[in-house]
Amino acid sequence: MKAQIFLLLLFAMFTSTAQDVVTFTASDGLTVTANLYEVDENDPYIVFFHQAGYSKGEYKATAVKFLKLGYNCLAVDLRSGGGVNFVQNETANLAKEKGLPTTYIEAEKDILASVDYAWEKSKKQMILFGSSYSASLAMRVAKGNSKVKAVIAFSPGEYFQPDMVMKDQLANYDKPVFVACSQREFSYMNELLINIPDNLKTVFKPQDGAGEHGSKSLWQTCPTSKEYWFALLMYFKKLDSIK
């Protein structure tokens, strides 16, 4: 009940905010499209990345909820994806037109370009927010990256084998990370994150239901969404104390 009251009071503060469509260029020349939600140009950014088969529309209702927490938001179309919530993936469509590879690992180029874009906008450390395969890539990009403060990773995993083993990539990991997963994914998640120091990782699973894969956990259609939201917002409160 306390969690529900907290979320009700917090989300009551949110008003609709206009979004701008922006573009920037990945290292191989592909134009990357994103939705920009900017409240104050001096605020740091949360940069959102979608799961397989999806688009920036995965965060259609999610991104705006973070604006009152003192962040601008950038929801990015990665080249490996499709459409969701009536929002097409413009980066993926263009990559296919140009005959560029659209594998999961190729989308790392788009994530790196997104980080550079957000950094140039505010010159402040950002938070990377990934879902499924992009959660894994967000952690990989964040490691050792002075432009990144922390990572929010919903259902990361070993999506790149045999070319890359994610568990090995996380050795010497040096960023705070909040990892959310379903109940079914929890035991696997502990194995994936074994190389991340305990003081840097927070792993969450819901208690009142099975949960969802990826950031769909935050959608209203997920029965345990309030649990995920409460845990996530408490983590942001913790992050705010880290300078």
Instruction: Please report the beta strands in the chain, taking only residues with DSSP state E, as ranges in sequence order.
Output: 20-25, 31-37, 45-49, 72-76, 126-131, 148-154, 177-180, 201-204
Q: Which residue has the tokens 């573009």?
A: 23
Cβ neighbourhood burial of 13 (10 Å; 0-12, 13-18, 19+): exposed
pLDDT over 80 (residue 226):
yes
Res. 2: pLDDT tops 60: no
What's the sign of the alpha-carbon dihedral 178, 140, 35, 67?
positive
Alpha carbon distance 150, 157 (integer Å)? 18
Tell me what pLDDT residue 110 has. Answer: 99
Q: Identify the structural domains of the chain with CATH numbers, from first to last.
A: 21-240 (3.40.50.1820)
Q: How far is Cα 22 from Cα 39, in angstroms, rounded to an integer? A: 15
- In this predicted structure, the answer to whether residue 14 has a pLDDT above a threshold of 60 is no
Least confident range from 6-10, 14-18, 64-68, 117-121: namely 6-10
| Element housing 35 (H / E) | strand 31-37
Question: 171-185, pLDDT tens digit by residue?
Answer: 999 999 999 999 999
DSSP-derived 3-state class of residue 147: coil
Least trusted range by pLDDT, from 89-93, 212-216, 237-241: 237-241
Q: Dihedral of the CA atoms 229, 230, 232, 235 (nearest 10)?
A: 170
Model pTM? 0.94
Q: Taking a C-beta distance cutoff of 8 angstroms, is the pair 118, 45 a contact?
A: yes
25-48: pLDDT as tens digits: 999 999 999 999 999 999 999 999
> Beta partners for 153?
130, 179
The residues that bridge with 37 in the sheet, in sequence order, are 73
pLDDT band, residue 241 (cuts 50/70/90): confident
Q: Which two tokens stand for residue 10?
A: 């917090």
Specify the range with the lowest mean pLDDT, choosing from 10-19, 45-54, 66-75, 204-213.
Answer: 10-19
Q: What is the mean pLDDT of residues 47-67?
A: 97
pLDDT tens for residues 96-124?
Answer: 999 999 999 999 999 999 999 999 999 99
Mean pLDDT for 131-137 is 99
Structure tokens at 128: 């990377």
